[in-house]
Amino acid sequence: MSERSLAVVVLAAGQGTRMRSATPKVLHRIAGRTLIGHVLTTARELAPAHVAVVVRHERDAVVAAIADAAPGLIVVDQDEIPGTGRAVELAVAALPAAFDGDVVVLSGDVPLLDPATLSVLLDRHRSAGAAATLLTAALADATGYGRILRGADGLVDRIVEHADASEEQRLIGEVNSGTYVFAAAALRAALPRIGAQNAQGEKYLTDAIGILRGDGLSVAATLADDATSLAGVNDRAQLAEAERVLNARIVRAHQLAGVTIRDPHTTWIDVDVTIGRDAEILPGTQLRGATTIGENAIVGPDTTLTDTEVGDLATVSRSDATLAVIGTAATVGPFAYLRPGTVLGAAGKIGTFVETKNTVIGKGSKVPHLSYVGDAEIGEGSNLGASTITANYDGVRKHRTRIGSRVHTGVHNSLVAPVEIGDDATLGAGAVIRKDVPPGALAVSVAPQRNREGWAAEQAAASGLAAPGSEDAAPGGE
């Protein structure tokens, strides 16, 4: 059967009250994506012709969040009739009338389900020629899950929800995961016949299984190899557990690809992060968003990088960076803070207790310690002394500072933007630079040192105290 004969329906209408959150449940995030974002990414891997998402609670927020994840998806609004059966009924009605392929039904709060498992489910469904095929799991504790009731032929007869199950049925360990494949024609015929005669008063999609069997059609099932892949997220504890499981998968995949991760338990890596071979990730490191790490780079310990690019052979230690670029063989930290727009050139350095923002630092240039550099451009081979700052804000507007190549600033320099320092210039210690400095010039702005001898004795006499160092002076200044 053609790949284009597939539609995916994602159920995302639930309120998720157990999350106790103002954020819709499916928009909570793990590993850098929303729960429904993970589901939609998995759905895309199946190359479906159509994707329909059923929404209701916080409808506008959910639609806005998923628009980028799956361009061209069909948004379906669930009406006042509750239940998954009604949600799928509305979704199928929104598909093109001529669509006659297979319909995969996924839950928007099951982020760990992977494309490989769904491919096995589809293969099983198509090879069996079934009207429907269920993805099931074997659980030691099946509390809360619908139980799979099989006939003597081993096929699925029906699903009974936990609330409606007898004590004997609740002993069954095989459960419904909420993931299905239906033949579209069979599903369209079954959905209108689903009633709401159950403990919850809802139209259960699970009742479609019994209807199909009553029509003499076959319903198959495939048992998932990994039950954790089918776990839904209903509260904050399950959210944390899902992220732990997903993070372990991500970390292991990087390790098998040639990355050294010293402590997987304290290393958190988002799903869209890329890491080059022979890179080393030290304990306490978080790699977020679309961060990329080059080959042979060392990151950590205790480092958080968000949407940051780290070049080959670079080192980043005990630092925080967002939307920054760190060049080949550059070093950052410890205790550096790279804000958005920071670009550090090859072999450059941003050192201890340095903050940078919207700044380009050239090849081999160094900002070693105790400095703030914002809205600036620095050429190649320059060195900023300790406690150099760019005073870039005049209270109304931000201004840029331009520092040339091979410039050396002294200790405790303030560069009041807008200002330009020419190539090969030197700034004296303590200088406050308010005017441009020509190339090769020395700029100083501090007054000459003056020593006033006898000052301490003068102060003592003026206050009626004994002169310092005299026998009458109190020891220790007392």
Q: Supply the residues annotated as catalytic.
A: 369
CA-to-CA separations, 58 to 5, 20, 35, 61, 69, in angstroms, rounded: 31, 14, 15, 6, 18
Question: Would you say the C-alpha torsion 95, 96, 97, 102 has a positive or negative sign?
Answer: negative
Task: Answer whether 174's CB lies under 8 Å from 157's CB.
Answer: no
Q: Is 92 helix (H, G, I), strand (E, B) or coil?
A: helix
Give first-to-last CA distance, the chain, whole Å. 96
Strand intervals (E) in 162-279: 174-183, 219-223, 260-261, 268-269, 274-275
Whether 307 and 288 have beta carbons less than 8 Å apart is answered as yes
Query: CA separation (Å) from 357 to 205, 218, 343, 360, 380?
Result: 53, 63, 9, 9, 18
Q: What are phi and psi of 126, to 5 degrees?
A: -75, -40
User: DSSP letter at 172?
Assistant: -
Q: How far apart are CA 229 and CA 110, in angstroms?
A: 8
Cα 308 to Cα 283, 286, 293, 380: the distances in Å are 18, 11, 8, 22
User: What is the rounded radius of gyration, in angstroms, for the C-alpha atoms of the chain?
Assistant: 33
Give dist(CA 11, CA 236) in Å, integer. Answer: 20
Tell me if residue 55 falls in helix, strand or coil: strand
In the chain, the amino acid numbered 161 is E
Contact 270, 291 (CB under 8 A): yes
What b/e string do you get for 291-301 counting C-beta neighbours within 10 Å, with b at 16 or more? bbbbebbbbbb
